[in-house]
Amino acid sequence: MAIGTIMIANRGEIAVRIIRAARKLGCRTVQVYSAADRDMLAVRLADQAVEIGPAKPSKSYLNIEAVLRAAQQTGADAIHPGYGFLAENPAFAAAVEADGRIFIGPQAATIRMMGDKAAARAAAIRAGVPVVPGSDGVVNPAEALAVAARIGFPIMIKAAAGGGGRGIRIAQTPDELATLFPQAGAEARAAFGDDSLYLERFVGRARHIEVQVLGDGHAAVHLFERECSLQRRRQKVWEEAPASALPPPVRSALCASAVRLAEACQYRGAGTLEYLYDDESGGFFFIEMNTRIQVEHPVTEMITGIDLVEEMIRIAAGERLRLTQHDIVCRGHAIEVRINAEDAARQFAPSPGTVSGLVVPGGFGVRFDSFLYAGYTVPPFYDSLLGKLIVWDATREGALARMRGALDELKVEGIATTIPMHTILSKDPAVVAGQVHTRWLEAWLETAELQAAASKGEVA
C-alpha cells in the first residue's frame, strides 16, 4: 500500500466505517471533527483527531481550507470524503491532488461531468445507455415549454447540480411548468449555488434501481444492483439487493449498461449509477451517477462478500482492479433500513438528544453500522442518520424475517427513532410482496395504520 495515513473528511457512521476499513489495511487514521462532534465515536477510534471548526458545516466539514490544513498538520497521505459534505465537490478533489495528496474517489473532471446531471445524461447517451426522454441539456423557460410540448406531460423539472431531492418539481400542465420552473431554479440556487435546470418525462410508478460499480480508471466491473424504491421526499429509507422485480435479461442489460458508462468516463473508485425501471414496459432509464460511496453500500457487500471501502482505498493507492466480472457472484438477499433520529408519527420531527441506552442486535447475517454508544448526545446540526441495520439471508423471505427479529432487538433509548416505522413496514403486505414504487411510501405514511399505531404509542 502506498498510503500510510488516511484522513476522514466526514462524520457519523461513514467515518467509523472508513476507519475500520483503513485499520484492516494497516493505515493510520486521522479524523477531523467540528466542535459539536468532540465526543463522536470516530474521534475515539481514530489514531489522531483534529478539530477543524464550529458546528456549522460551512465552517467545518465544508471548509476546504480547514480540511486541507488538518491534512498538512497531520501528514495525511490521502483523504477519504465519505458521502455528503465535500464528497462530490470537484474543487475539493482538485485541491487535494494539488496539495500533493490522494483523493480517495474519482478524478475532479469525472466528478464535475457526472455531478452535472445534464452533462451526465449526455455522457450516457454517447455511451448508448437509455435515458428518460427529456431536454438535451440545460434549458431556459421558453425552451422548457417547447421540450414539454415535444415529449408530453407530466414533466419533471430537475436541478442540473442537484441531489437529495432538491431543485425538483413535477408539472402537469404548461401553466404549472411556467410557475414551477422559477421555483425549482430558486431552490437549486439556494442549495447548490447553481440554478441550471433540465427536464425529464415523469415516470409515475417507477422503481428506483441502482447499479454499484468499481473502476480503476481503465476497466470497470459491476457488483449487481440495489432497489431503493421506498423513499420519502426522494430520500431513501429502505434498500435491498438484489432487486427482486427485475427479470434476468433486464438485470444483465442494466448492469452491462452501467459498466459501459463507467468505462466511458474512465471512472476510478466506487460509484453508483441510478435508474428508473418501468414495471409496465420493462424499460430502464439512466437518471444520474453518484461519484462516491453510497449510504446503502452494505447490502451490496452482503451479497457479494466484497469490502467496497477497502477496494476504494486500494484503487486510490494505484492498484488495478483485483476483480474480474467473473469473480463477482451474487449470493442471497440483503436488506438495509436507515435508522434516523426522527419521529415518524409526528411528521418526522427531528429528535436530537442523549442516547441513554443502546442494545445492538447480533447473530448470523446481522450487521449494524452506526456511531452510537450509550451516553452519546446526538447533535442537532447535521443529518439525522444514526445508523443502518443490515441483514442477509439466502432468500428475500428469510431476510425479511431476520430484519423483523433484528428490529425487535435493536433498542435506542432516550430519543425517538424510525425503528418502529420500519417494524410496521417490514410486515406490510405490499412490502412483503415487493409491490412498491417510488411514490408508494409517501401514500403509506398517510394511512390509518400508521396513525393508529401512533395513537397506541407503538410509533415514537
Active site residues: 292
Q: Which residues pair with 277 in a beta bridge?
A: 207, 284
Q: Which residues pair with 239 in a beta bridge?
A: 336
* CB contact at 8 A, 270 and 106: no
Roughly what angle, to the nearest 10 degrees, separates helices 117-126 and 108-115? 100
Q: 349: which 3 cell numbers?
A: 420531527
Q: 364: which 3 cell numbers?
A: 448470523
323 contact partners, CB below 8 Å, separation of at least 6 = 214, 221, 306, 311
Strands 155-159 and 197-201: antiparallel
C-alpha 366/C-alpha 450 separation (Å) is 26
Q: 9: which 3 cell numbers?
A: 473528511
Strands 349-350 and 342-343: antiparallel
**Biggest alpha carbon distance in the chain?**
60
Beginning with the edge strand found earlier in the chain, give each strand of the sheet holding 48-53 in spatial order.
48-53, 28-34, 5-8, 78-80, 102-103
List the one residue out of 176, 136, 139 whose CA is nearest residue 154: 176
- Give burial (CB, 10 Å; 0-12/13-18/19+) of 445: middle
H-state helical runs in 79-173: 90-98, 108-115, 117-126, 141-151
Query: HSE on the CB side for 25, CA within 13 Å?
Result: 25
C-alpha 137/C-alpha 207 separation (Å) is 24
- Give burial (CB, 10 Å; 0-12/13-18/19+) of 320: exposed
Q: 96 vs 24, 262, 278, 411, CA distance in Å?
A: 24, 23, 40, 40
* CB contact at 8 A, 355 and 375: yes
User: Residue with C-alpha cell 467540528?
Assistant: 34
C-alpha 383/C-alpha 269 separation (Å) is 25
C-alpha 13/C-alpha 372 separation (Å) is 8
* CB contact at 8 A, 264 and 126: yes
* CB contact at 8 A, 382 and 11: yes
